[in-house]
Amino acid sequence: MTHSRFDVLGIGNAIVDVIARTEDDFLVREGLAKGSMRLIDAAEAERLYDHMGPAKEISGGSAGNTIAALAGLGARAAYFGKVAEDHLGTIFRHDIRSVGVHFETAPLHIGAADWAPTARSMILVTPDGERTMNTFLGACTHLTPDDIEADVVADAAVVYLEGYLWDPPAAKEAFRRASAIAHAHGRRVALTLSDSFCVDRWRPEFLELMRSGVVDLVFANQAEVKALYETADLDSGIAALRGDVRLAAVTLSDQGSLVVTAEKVTAVPAAPVETLVDTTGAGDLYASGFLYGLTHDFDYAACAELGGLLAAEIIGHVGARSQRDLVDLARQAGFPL
């Protein structure tokens, strides 16, 4: 791979998380499927916000979390995502730029005919640390191919895309455009499957992206692999995955993760977790560690280990953006950062 200005460029839904602790009863009363991400409209967003308890606002978005932590590790990182010119948009921009990420996507202007506010995800965290997400996409649905900064894509070793981007229609085209530019410059393209419900919505398209080589590397958890191949048997899913994509990293919660290639499957144990507080961001931070390793010549097992270390850190507190010194954390665990 040739020299690049950025290690990783992330493209995703730019979202501010609104995080509240809740009891399981509340999920039942509201008819919410625990552990899932569902998309909601403005009216439902308002209704649910009225019902839920006191919250914290923390910048989020799956790829945004991944990219912020990559910057925290010292990687050179960039991000494309659509916020609006409003207070949540200001928060999102501040938080991602303040860790050194290149973020120049034009915000949706006030007065635009199709104005929508910055996206928010109301995340309900139950006592077991599981999170149930209710996302109002708002301005995210306005990310279009025009937002793809071609020079940045061309100059990023890896372009990382979230499966959630398949929900807002115009973003798909942005994603395909980015992948074409990246491949024209000899870069790699990664995709996270995001959520098993997201896989259910977009199964044929995700498989096509993998099989046609639009995507070189896939991140998924076991539920997403099973959903992708409509199987209850993880091993069958893994076997299928080996034929469909060059490289995959499959997370298995407290069982660690698997690095999957056509040649072999490598199991890497999980990092120890002190307290499980909030699983939000575990997959996102795993991808940060893995991609840091991948762009810094770690072998695959070390990529997966660093991913596991970051995932273990993020689930020890509320929110998916760490304020810890991630370089220190990685160095203390023996990684050559």
- Close Cβ partners of 241 (under 8 Å, ≥ 6 residues apart): 218, 220, 225, 228, 229, 248, 250, 260
Nearer to its own copies, 255 or 323 (CB): 323
- Restricting to residues 95-134, name those near its own copies by CB under 8 A: 95-96, 98-99
Q: Does 57 bind its own copies (CB under 8 A)?
A: yes
Question: Least separation, in Å, of the C-beta of 57 and its own copies?
Answer: 4
> 27, 32, 39, 55: which one contacts its own copies (CB under 8 A)?
55
Nearer to its own copies, 201 or 317 (CB): 317
> 4, 12, 21, 167: which one contacts its own copies (CB under 8 A)?
21
Question: Least separation, in Å, of the C-beta of 337 and its own copies?
Answer: 18
Q: Does 27 bind its own copies (CB under 8 A)?
A: no
Question: Judged by CB under 8 A, which stretch of 132-140, 195-203, 255-263, 321-329 contacts its own copies?
Answer: 321-329
Q: Does 61 bind its own copies (CB under 8 A)?
A: no
Q: Does 331 bind its own copies (CB under 8 A)?
A: no
Question: Least separation, in Å, of the C-beta of 63 and its own copies?
Answer: 16
Question: Least separation, in Å, of the C-beta of 97 and its own copies?
Answer: 9
Whole-angstrom distance, CA of residue 203 vs CA of residue 295: 29
Residues that bind its own copies (CB under 8 A): 20-21, 49-50, 52-59, 68, 86-88, 91, 94-96, 98-99, 317-319, 321, 323-324
